[in-house]
Structure 1
Amino acid sequence: MAKALKKQALGRGLSALLKDPENDIQSVNDKNAEKVVGNIIELDIDAIEINPFQPRSNFNEESLRELAISIKELGVIQPITVRKLDYNKFQLISGERRLRASTLVGLTSVPAYIRIANDNESLVMALVENIQRHDLDPIEIALSYQRLMDEIQLTQEQVSDRVGKKRSTIANYIRLLKLDPIIQTGIRDGFISMGHGRAIINVEDLDKQTDIYHQIVSKNLSVRDTEALVKSYQESLKPKAATTAPKAAPFEIEETQKKAFNSYFGNLVEVKVAGNGKGKITIPFQSEEDFNRILALIKK
């Protein structure tokens, strides 16, 4: 208990150091920087501004109230992380839920780790720290990955190294951003899963995407059902094999000519002509005697 009180007193002492204009620490090389950077310091909430790079945009109100009750009873167990901007002015890097909950219960100060970082470093720290959390929805994670690529100019492979995820995992999340905004909202609100979204993304038509989405929600379709629905839709788009009419023969065998064959051989002779002008004559026979008779006619 004495150890905890000593740590708290140390934090408050460092807080006073940060408020001293003669100790305006701006870099790790400044006087007393080693006493501040990386240490836990009790900071006034009014001196902390929200990080504009914060990837989280949805905060569950019920969950926030539960955290506020916990903080009211036990205090802020895990310090937030901030970066120093100016004299007694700080910007949040991570811990916005803890900061919001602390404000809800009326706290005027919170324990914080102090960092000195430029905008890029701050963005990377904020995004990577938040990506590791388990309560971000898939769209928030996808947006975080996309921001690392767009604003820090990282490749998917580099993002993979930064966050410790497979490149294919990064790609699967980012692909969700191609979904219609209505569907992205559905994923964020938990109406459908990321698996549903990955199935729908194979449909390019945004109107059809939303049509499938509404079917999933109204019929409570599983991911497998959705995949089958998407496959059926894609099959319907494939061009059907054209049924070409048989090519007309360049000439016709007249009935009188057919009758001439029948009359000569004494049997019902079949005469056919194909579209390329080739054809065949089929002369049936009923017995060996009939065969010999036809053969004799041919030899004449």
Structure 2
Amino acid sequence: MPTATHDPKRRALGKGLESLLPSRPAVVPQIAATAVEVLGKPIDLPLDSIERNPYQTRTHFDETQLDELAQSISATGVVQPIVVKKIGEDRYQLITGERRWLASRKAGEKTIPAVIRSANDEQTLEMTIVENLQRADLNPIEQGKAFERLSREFKLTQEQMAYRTGKDRATVGNFIRLLRLPEFVQKKVESGELSFGHARAMLALEGDAATSAAQKILALNLSVRQTENYVQGLINPESKPKPEQKKDVQPEDPNVREAQDQLQRKLGLKVRIEDKHGKGKVVIEYANVEDFDAIIAALG
């Protein structure tokens, strides 16, 4: 009897997502360049003349890291100038560099090096969001909110946002979908108790089910891989045979199982592959229009 390893039909199913989601040539979106004009070289501006950026998407600044940066600034000064725009006579508004601005105030500095740029409110918002998204220390929920704001206020597609920030399109979609998770789960992600991988695995769950799952994941200190297996067990309880049924149940083809798991991780949605001798169907469940759009985008 041919095995899954030698059966060419089975082997095709084991090629991964490429066999189900054909690759498409990269499309460079036509995004209008942000029209900002550098008005001069860095100059020292009084800290008190600079106002906070009202479009700032960051909500968490680690106080320990701010203290460390303040100490560094006291010793060596600000290495990279902040970026501001003029909003009045001797008054400026931050565009980027809020951590350096806050740390300089902590350090007791009177001035800070800054580059003045000409930008309207819309350009300021876009520059702030994109700059923040390119930072490695922005937490996943903040990233999701920033991407959602780019989509809502600038009508950018997920592909355009991915191109603009250097991230994968599917990752952008997953960040945005994190905002559907219950508030309890989002707060645990913001605090770092749950990682992006944990949260992404829970996207297939909804409401109280996601909250209960998060509580168990935290209590048992599950890894991301263990979380993925746990969630799959919750949404596919029939795949776990009862002890007395084990002798009568045929083991699932590992290639089919791997393809199904990859699809679920890629889409963040419940996926079921029903396969019989190389023929069958792929069932993808979605809860709303955003999920449906993500499926269409992935399929091209």
Instruction: State the TM bucket, normalised to the shorter chain.
Output: 0.5 to 0.7
In structure 2, distance between residues paired with 1:148 and 1:39: 30
Alignment partner, residue 48 of structure 1: 50
Matched, 1:76 2:78: yes
Amino acid corresponding to residue 152 of structure 2 in structure 1: D
**SS of equivalent to 1:201:** helix
Amino acid corresponding to residue 161 of structure 2 in structure 1: V
In structure 1, distance between residues paired with 2:84 and 2:66: 20
Any stretches of 5+ residues in structure 2 without a counterpart?
1-34, 240-300
In structure 2, distance between residues paired with 1:161 and 1:221: 33
State percent identity of aligned pairs.
46
Amino acid corresponding to residue 91 of structure 2 in structure 1: K
Matched, 1:168 2:184: no
In structure 2, distance between residues paired with 1:237 and 1:90: 62
Q: CA deviation at 1:38?
A: 4.2
Matches within 5 A, 1:249-288: none
Alignment partner, residue 182 of structure 1: 184
**SS of equivalent to 1:115:** strand
Matched, 1:230 2:236: no
Matches within 5 A, 1:2-151: 37-151=39-153
**Is the radius of gyration larger for structure 1 or structure 2?**
1
Superposition RMSD in Å: 1.9
Aligned residues: 205
In structure 1, distance between residues paired with 2:69 and 2:186: 27
CA shift in 2, pair 1:216/1:38, >3 Å: farther
Q: CA deviation at 1:237?
A: 8.6
Amino acid corresponding to residue 98 of structure 1 in structure 2: R
Alignment partner, residue 28 of structure 2: none
Amino acid corresponding to residue 99 of structure 1 in structure 2: W
**SS of equivalent to 2:79:** coil
In structure 1, distance between residues paired with 2:236 and 2:137: 37
Amino acid corresponding to residue 220 of structure 1 in structure 2: N
Alignment partner, residue 275 of structure 1: none
CA shift in 2, pair 1:144/1:38, >3 Å: farther
Q: TM-score, normalised by structure 1?
A: 0.65
Q: CA deviation at 1:153?
A: 1.9
> After TM superposition, which residue ranges in structure 1, 4 or more long, deviate above 2 angstroms?
235-238
In structure 2, distance between residues paired with 1:156 and 1:147: 12
In structure 2, distance between residues paired with 1:152 and 1:90: 24
Any stretches of 5+ residues in structure 1 without a counterpart?
1-26, 29-33, 239-300
